[in-house]
Amino acid sequence: MSQAIKIKKLSDNNISDYELLTKHGDDGKLCYCSFWHQKWSSMDEYHQIQRENPERLRSCVIDRVKSNFHVGVIAYLDGEPCAWVSVGPLIDFFWAWKRVAQIGEDAKSIAGIMCFTVAPKFRGQKMQVKVLTALKKYGSEKGWTAIEAYPFSDEAIEKHGAALKWTGLSKGYESADFRKSGEHWLSSPEAKRFIYTLKLS
């Protein structure tokens, strides 16, 4: 019988699983899901580091873990890593500073999902909903009051393709009881994006 999904915080104990899930983005470039933790002058700068010094990306995330930032979680199914979620209190992500400015002190207890990646082997199995369901309990145990997600609209994904699916899909969030609560601070007419919120008791 299949076991329930288990959520584990990224730590020194599961770095190898994190590397397995995040070393390469779906575009084939070295990623490590590190974008959210550093200030970039432009996307060109980030892509240059991806090409020329990807170890900097990995080291940044490892340093954050060792400094006790909540970098993200790994979901396990029957003991096998099936998904990576870059999630934690908004104050733990440099990239979320505009959102932190919007909501103020509550940013300490509201978690944001920066990226949602399902391992190729587990795709097409409604894994997003299953992982989010497990993440609800995990978040409550951590004392989070809410979890936010930032998916692109279906229209944006249809227009620009799978390159925008790294946020997770809006339908998956809706199926896990997240509700659209506003427009994302970087939304644009070319790529509409929204904030989805799940309140935790």
Report yes or no: 71 and 61 within 8 Å, Cβ to Cβ.
yes
User: Which residue bears the tokens 């070319």?
Assistant: 190
Query: Residue 48 CB: number of other CB atoms within 10 A?
Result: 12
Q: Which helix (H) or strand (E) holds 115?
A: strand 110-118
Q: Which CATH superfamily is domain 6-199 in?
A: Gcn5-related N-acetyltransferase (GNAT) (3.40.630.30)
Angle at 15 between CA 88 and CA 89, to 5 degrees: 5
The answer to whether the pTM exceeds 0.85 is: yes
Report yes or no: 185 and 98 within 8 Å, Cβ to Cβ.
yes
Average pLDDT value for residue range 193-199: 98
Per residue in 58-110, pLDDT (tens digit) is 999 999 999 999 999 999 999 999 999 999 999 999 999 999 999 999 999 99
Strand partners, 6: 76
Among 76, 75, 99, smallest CA distance to 149 is for 99
C-alpha 186 chain-centroid distance: 16
Domain-wise residue ranges, the chain:
6-199
Per residue in 102-132, pLDDT (tens digit) is 999 999 999 999 999 999 999 989 999 999 9
Cα–Cα distance between 47 and 54 in angstroms, integer? 10
Q: What is the mean pLDDT of the chain?
A: 92
